[in-house]
Amino acid sequence: MRRVGIIGAGMTNFGEHWEEGFRDLVVDAGLKALTDAGISGDRIDAGYIGTMASGSLIGQEHIGGLLADYMGLNPIPITRVEGACASGSLALRQGFMAVASGMHDIVVVGGVEKMTDLSVNAVSDILGGAGDQEWELFLGATFPGIYALMARRHMQEFGTTEEMLASAAVKNHYNGARNKYAQFQRELTMEQVLTSKMIADPLKILDCSPITDGAAGIVLAPMDMAESFTKKPIEIIASAQASDTIALHSRQTLTGLKAAEIAAKTAYKMANLSPKDINLAEVHDCFTIAEIIAIEDLGFFPKGEGGPASLEGKTKLDGEIPINTSGGLKACGHPVGATGVKQAVEITWQLRGIAEGRQIKDANIGLSHNVGGSGATAVVHIYKA
């Protein structure tokens, strides 16, 4: 395989975009990424776009064709990739493999979702399709309820507390308050999280990621070409994906995501690294319990110790392993198809040393972890400055 690097990165603000549509968001992010790379559209060989539910959310399918048209990239092939909330990382993986294989040289990767035009209940039902529609959503088990079951089991087995869960939200809002692209640029207190409205016991509304509009984009090139575009290309040194049962009730355990564990082990082997070599990570914190489980699945902390590690500040900006410097899904926002690409953008900025207000000192190795549904799909990438 050829070595693959990120030569351009960009994103829109995440939040409620009432004056901008789906295509406006993705064109904005794409142009920012191309500008950052210093290239024009005629240099691009192919594109991959992650979006989960554009047909249900805005009535638009055929996303690849739409974006090739509106970004002025015809006749360049652009392919839509879908894997629930992991759609963005799957698009990145497809772009990585296209460049690594030699099939294409310059590839643009994007992620986008326009979610706020519908009611909360409608969006919740649409997102529920990322689980087992017949055995979960049809019977009333939406994702807050599913992750609440995971949280309760984690509490039972390891003594995890609501304060430990809340500490992840507090930390991520602290980081989000320092990210000009974040949906929620304000800090929270433990009391605010713990006394917020109950959604699915023990998860409260401030344990949950929001409904979000947004887009993100990156540009990939082989490393032997990358330095002709940018002084500091960020190399993707590992890309791994794994699968598990789509329904929670069929899993071997409720306190970990097997797909994430396997993807992480594969990525570490590919990069010839271990968890202790990672300087920072963007993980999939759709709910606070998801972050606690993620930092255990990724090997940063032993199983059952993710909660205490979070409460003790080990995942803060100045902690042992900074987690979700962008604010994560919780504070930066979660436009589902864009999340995985946003994670790559944040890691790129951190490894370039330009993450204003939240920069991790001497960061050289970063990791992103993106999950589809409640764990049926997991994607892990590792990046090197």
CATH code at position 142 = 3.40.47.10
Q: Do residue 101 and residue 153 come from a single domain?
A: no
Which amino acid is residue 120, in one-letter code? Answer: V
| pLDDT of 348 | 98
| pLDDT of 72 | 92
Range of the domain at 80: 4-118+212-234
Q: Decide which of 234, 267, 286 is a domain's last residue.
A: 234
Q: Do residue 251 and residue 364 come from a single domain?
A: yes
Q: Do residue 87 and residue 220 come from a single domain?
A: yes
* Domain tally, the chain: 2
Q: Do residue 30 and residue 166 come from a single domain?
A: no
Q: Do residue 293 and residue 333 come from a single domain?
A: yes
| pLDDT of 275 | 98
Q: Do residue 201 and residue 224 come from a single domain?
A: no
Query: How far, in Å, CA of 264 to CA of 260, rounded?
Result: 6
| pLDDT of 37 | 97
Contact 332, 218 (CB under 8 A): no
Q: Do residue 296 and residue 151 come from a single domain?
A: yes
Nearest in space to 26 (alpha carbons), one of 115, 127, 93, 113: 113
| pLDDT of 334 | 98
Catalytic residue among 154, 334, 369, 381: 334
Q: Do residue 132 and residue 196 come from a single domain?
A: yes
Nearest in space to 260 (alpha carbons), one of 6, 52, 50, 86: 86
Q: Do residue 228 and residue 328 come from a single domain?
A: no
Q: Do residue 253 and residue 349 come from a single domain?
A: yes
Non-local (6+) Cβ contacts of 53 within 8 A are: 113, 126, 127, 129, 336, 337
From the first residue on, what is the mean pLDDT of each consecutive set of 10 residues in the chain (385 residues)? 97 97 96 96 96 97 95 95 98 98 98 96 94 92 96 98 98 98 98 98 98 98 94 96 97 97 98 98 98 98 98 98 98 98 98 97 98 98 98
Q: Do residue 20 and residue 164 come from a single domain?
A: no
Q: Verify whether residue 332 is a known catalytic residue.
A: no
Catalytic residue among 85, 208, 286, 332: 85
| pLDDT of 67 | 94
Q: Verify whether residue 104 is a known catalytic residue.
A: no
Q: Do residue 47 and residue 185 come from a single domain?
A: no
